[in-house]
Chains A and B, each alone.
Chain A
Amino acid sequence: MEALLEALDARGKAISARVIREMYAHPFWTERFGDRGRGEADKDGDFHIAHLREALVTEDEEALPRYARWLRSVLTARGMCTHHLADNLLRLGDALGQELPDGVRARAYLYHASAALHYDAGPARHLQDHADPIVAALDAREWPGDPALTRETHRELVSYLADAVAQERPALFADHVVWLRAFWERRGVPDTALDAQLAALSAHLSHEHAPADDAVQAIAFARDRLAPLHGDQVER
């Protein structure tokens, strides 16, 4: 343990910063959150290391989950989704596990924190538990525009939807959808593609994942937000 703590003190923040840098290689992050967001992400990375260290020292396996759930409430209110944080914790765990002596201990704590971001039983938990088949159903369809671009956002769409349902804030999903439309438009994806995806997601949930009322309503709310941007192009 001492070797792990010493290495964490010496290299933890640098490893965390590298993980953030790798995530920020995708244009989503800079376009969505800008330089200020990058600065906040780096600070959060430092906090991950500080909380991990404290959890290791006190052998409190629930300390990081408590922190992760609290941080999730802060980040989802500011335009991120649970999947972003969960993925960040897994990546950090992998990096520390590979690079630090006895790093598997750190990885176990971070993996546990990532898993703790599953919501309690309910519609949001259902979306999380069934994210893979939902994403696969969306991936299997043909979309206008760059299929690689549209497919990579499916998992995030499901995560934003779960967050909106869990927190009873449909705007969490709608705000992301409105932003995503502009992001795709800058990359040549037709502006009706996203509404088509949302319609497909809504239909899939209605048919395959009842009860899904909250999720379907959140999708409808988001599509209504998109409608003025499309004029009369969106069909219901």
Chain B
Amino acid sequence: MEVAEHTRERASPLDALRDRYLAAQLAGDRREALRLVLEEGLRAGATVAELQLAVIQEAQREIGRLWQENRISIAQEHMATAISHVVLAHLYDRAPRADTNGKKVLVACVEGELHDLPARLAADALDLAGFEVRYLGASVPVHALLSMIDQVKPDLVALSVTMAFNAAALREAVARVRAHTGGRLPIAVGGNACRGVPAEPGVVVCAGDAGELVALVERAVRGAAA
């Protein structure tokens, strides 16, 4: 399977691990993918965040490019992504967790958004940073989101949107959450399609990775508590 030249140009150990992880994904070899990340990656001293972002997330970007260019099928893309979900779950289990900070965060993909790996990464990062996370996954209807807010009483809601045509669903979710909570519940927005979303009072927009999201959420929660 041809891998983009740009993924071969750099020679760092994580780049090499990423390429081997990608090969395991495309071969459907879940055990090898796990071994590479959990044994080789962690044993070599890579942090969980590095493995999540520089190996798994970058491999997923390459998976997306390969599908776009019709070099892999949609079934192969789903298989590869399913392997990443399994590996992330195992990484999460091995990762050191910061002391709980007593704050609850609800993480969800907006209604219609099926790309849930970015939200999964965000949920894991927030959890490992000490937040109590309720992760709702892909395409959460707004009414269900509001119901969970009433049930869980989070300190912040984080919404993920990847596809540009779901931006309207994001705006709807933000408006409904603000109306439902009187504007008092901070909202964080992240994902590829959030870049065009203007920040408004009570809404923070994260165009960066999971690490940046954690910092933004920490600030937003502190600000709301002040």
- The answer to whether A50 touches B196 (Cβ under 8 A) is no
The distance in angstroms between the C-alpha atoms of A63 and B167, with both chains bound, is 12
**Is A152 an interface residue when CB atoms closer than 8 A count as contact?**
no
- The answer to whether A57 touches B168 (Cβ under 8 A) is yes
Picked from B68, B71, B165, the residue with its CB within 8 Å of the CB of A51 is: B165
Among the interface residues B68, B167, B168, B196, which one has the most CB atoms of the partner chain A within 10 A?
B167
The distance in angstroms between the C-alpha atoms of A153 and B72, with both chains bound, is 29
Q: Could you tell me the distance in whole angstroms from the C-beta of B52 to the nearest C-beta in chain A?
A: 26
- What total of A-B pairs shows CB separation below 8 Å? 27
The distance in angstroms between the C-alpha atoms of A51 and B196, with both chains bound, is 13
27 A-B pairs with CB atoms under 8 Å apart are A47-B165, A50-B165, A51-B164, A51-B165, A53-B168, A54-B164, A54-B165, A54-B167, A54-B168, A57-B168, A58-B167, A58-B196, A60-B196, A63-B164, A63-B196, A66-B164, A67-B164, A70-B68, A73-B68, A73-B69, A74-B68, A74-B70, A77-B68, A77-B69, A77-B70, A77-B71, A78-B70
Interface class of chain A by DSSP: helix
Among the interface residues B69, B164, B168, which one has the most CB atoms of the partner chain A within 10 A?
B164
0/1 string, A51-89, CB within 8 A of B gives 1: 101100110100100110010011001100000000000
A53: chain B residues at CB < 8 Å are 168
Could you tell me which A residues sit within 8 Å of B by CB distance? 47, 50-51, 53-54, 57-58, 60, 63, 66-67, 70, 73-74, 77-78
Q: Give the top 10 A-B pairs by smallest Cβ distance, nearest first.
A: A77-B70, A50-B165, A77-B69, A78-B70, A51-B165, A54-B167, A74-B68, A73-B68, A54-B165, A54-B168
Q: Could you tell me the distance in whole angstroms from the C-beta of A71 to the nearest C-beta in chain B?
A: 10
Q: Which chain A residue shows the least CB distance to B197? A: A58
B167: chain A residues at CB < 8 Å are 54, 58
0/1 string, B156-187, CB within 8 A of A gives 1: 00000000110110000000000000000000
B69: chain A residues at CB < 8 Å are 73, 77
Among the interface residues B68, B69, B165, B168, which one has the most CB atoms of the partner chain A within 10 A?
B165
The distance in angstroms between the C-alpha atoms of A58 and B77, with both chains bound, is 31
B71: chain A residues at CB < 8 Å are 77
Q: Which chain B residue shows the least CB distance to A169? A: B69
B164: chain A residues at CB < 8 Å are 51, 54, 63, 66-67
The distance in angstroms between the C-alpha atoms of A57 and B167, with both chains bound, is 10
0/1 string, B200-211, CB within 8 A of A gives 1: 000000000000
Q: Which chain A residue shows the least CB distance to B165? A: A50
